[in-house]
């Protein structure tokens, strides 16, 4: 590897909820470990790798110029995004006017829904689902209609098209949030699956917000298919959300963007997100994106995908061989594992709370899966050096699942 994916970063006291947030937000954050165990952060969705050096270099370079006044995003910013999508996702014909700044992907999701919906409207969403969707949609008064994903005979999570259609038809739904790749199930949707979903959305006049924040973290040779690329109709009925924040660990810098080809939709969403006067780019965050989307960033992201693939393969094999009663569908993208512990808990007479606590006590800072609509599930973040992943599985084996 050209880049460093093996050093163990000490993030304590360095602005990281992943380690400093333990015990702070019961029900959301894990408890701190008992004496004698250090923290292995495996919960909130950020990474424990130093990011590509071109990012801090770009930030430092800009920071040396001692004026940080009002600014417009530069041509380099738009060109960097256009090239990234062309090279990595085969997107052709993307122009700067289709790209718009969003402070966060979730803010972009809400701005889009505010345009697609009237207050209290129903929005179709698949479960399990990312807690951020649940929170932002609930807080903004949308009525989530949940269509559960189903595991096929090979354990692969699939959309239930019949259920989706039934709900769209009978409940007069005209907006959907689509998560691609899917957090927390890790699906990288195949083209035919996206096509089929988009056909339904066309049939029932549904506008779509496609959250593709995870689209750069694709594992074991899978391929991301942008929702807007599956048909001309999909291109025009979808607002897609992206960011360098998951890929390069930049959440603390803030900065996402939308791609919207439909001019009417784009104008309305830009207007909507401008209303609170909070949706403005930070100059250092702009330079971070430009640093990320430099040639080194392409190489770094490729190496990251290899590292995460290795971690995921290690973890899934370990679970299959050692943790009887724990089920997992191997993720094809993201760095999350979603463990179904139902059978294990039944067999051992334990509750999910007891199981989670046993992990937290020994520093395995994993996350309660119930907030992602997994009734007896745990979400596990594998974006750590493999040595730390191995240590976490050693502790799970010795102190938790086979204690
Ligand atoms: C699917 C998905 N969307 C959005 C976000 C958050 O994005 P932002 O911080 O840009 O709002 C996350 C973070 O984990 C996520 O998993």
Encoding tokens for residue 244? Answer: 């360098």
Cα 208 to averaged position of ligand 1 atoms, centre (Å): 17
Question: What is the reported pLDDT for 25?
Answer: 85
Spatial distance between the Cα atoms of 259 and 100, rounded to a whole number of angstroms: 7
Q: So what's the pLDDT on residue 277? A: 94
pLDDT of residue 87: 98
Residues with CB under 6 A from ligand 1: 45, 104-106, 130, 132, 179, 183, 211, 213, 243, 245, 251, 256
DSSP code at position 330: P
What is residue 161's predicted lDDT score, i.e. its pLDDT?
98
Predicted local confidence at residue 249, as pLDDT: 98
**Whole-angstrom distance between the N-terminal and C-terminal Cα of the chain?**
36
Give tens-digit pLDDT for 148-162.
Answer: 999 999 999 999 999
The confidence score (pLDDT) of residue 27 equals: 80
What's the pLDDT at 127?
97
Q: Whose CA is nearest to atom 7 of ligand 1?
A: 105
C-alpha–C-alpha distance, residues 216 and 23, integer Å: 31
Q: Which residue's CA lies nearest to atom 9 of ligand 1?
A: 104
Say how many Å lie between the CA of residue 103 and the centre of ligand 1.
11
**Cα atoms in the Cβ-side hemisphere of radius 13 Å centred on 124:** 31
* Angle, CA of 201, 202 and 206, to the nearest 5°: 50
Beta strands in 180-237 (DSSP E): 207-211
Residues of the chain with pLDDT under 70: none
- Which of 135, 183, 373 has most ligand 1 atoms within 8 Å of CB, for mutation? 183
Which of 45, 106, 372, when mutated, tests ligand 1's pocket best, judged by the most ligand atoms within 8 Å of its CB? 106
What is the structure's pLDDT at 28?
87
Give per-residue burial for 306-334: e unless 16+ CB within 10 Å, then b.
ebbbbbbeebbebbeeebeebbbbbbbbb
- Ligand 1 atom nearest residue 45's Cα: 14
């Amino acid at each position: 590897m050209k880049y460093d994916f093996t050093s163990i970063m000490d993030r304590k006291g360095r602005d990281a909820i992943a380690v400093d947030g333990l015990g702070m937000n019961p029900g959301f954050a894990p408890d701190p470990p008992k004496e004698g165990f250090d923290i292995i952060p495996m919960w909130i969705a950020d990474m424990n790798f130093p990011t590509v050096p071109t990012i801090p270099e770009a930030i430092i370079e800009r920071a040396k110029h001692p004026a940080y006044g009002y600014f417009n995003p530069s041509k380099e910013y738009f060109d960097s995004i256009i090239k990234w999508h062309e090279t990595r996702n085969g997107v052709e014909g993307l122009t700067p006017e289709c790209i718009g700044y969003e402070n966060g992907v979730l803010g972009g999701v809400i701005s889009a829904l505010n345009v697609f919906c009237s207050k209290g409207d129903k929005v179709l969403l698949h479960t399990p689902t990312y807690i951020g969707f649940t929170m932002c949609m609930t807080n903004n008064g949308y009525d989530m209609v949940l269509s559960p994903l189903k595991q096929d005979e090979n354990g692969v999570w699939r959309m239930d098209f019949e259920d989706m259609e039934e709900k769209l038809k009978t409940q007069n739904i005209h907006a959907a949030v689509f998560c691609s790749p899917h957090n927390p199930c890790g699906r990288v949707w195949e083209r035919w699956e996206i096509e089929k979903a988009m056909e339904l959305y066309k049939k029932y006049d549904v506008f779509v917000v496609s959250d593709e924040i995870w689209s750069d973290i694709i594992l074991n040779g899978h391929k991301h298919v942008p929702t807007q690329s599956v048909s001309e109709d999909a291109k025009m009925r979808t607002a897609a959300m992206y960011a360098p924040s998951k890929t390069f660990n930049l959440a603390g810098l803030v900065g996402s963007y939308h791609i919207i080809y439909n001019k009417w939709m784009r104008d309305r969403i830009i207007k909507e997100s401008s209303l609170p006067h909070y949706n403005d780019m930070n100059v250092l965050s702009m330079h971070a994106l430009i640093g990320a989307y430099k040639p080194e960033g392409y190489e770094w992201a490729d190496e990251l995908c290899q590292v995460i693939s290795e971690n995921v393969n290690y973890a899934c094999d370990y679970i299959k061989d050692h943790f009887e009663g724990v089920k997992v569908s191997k993720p094809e993208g993201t760095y999350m594992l979603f463990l179904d512990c139902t059978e294990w808990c039944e067999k051992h007479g334990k509750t999910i709370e007891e199981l989670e606590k046993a992990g937290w006590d020994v520093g395995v800072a994993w996350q309660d899966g119930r907030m992602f609509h997994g009734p007896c599930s745990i979400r596990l973040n594998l974006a750590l050096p493999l040595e730390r992943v191995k240590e976490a599985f050693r502790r799970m084996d010795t102190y938790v699942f086979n204690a």
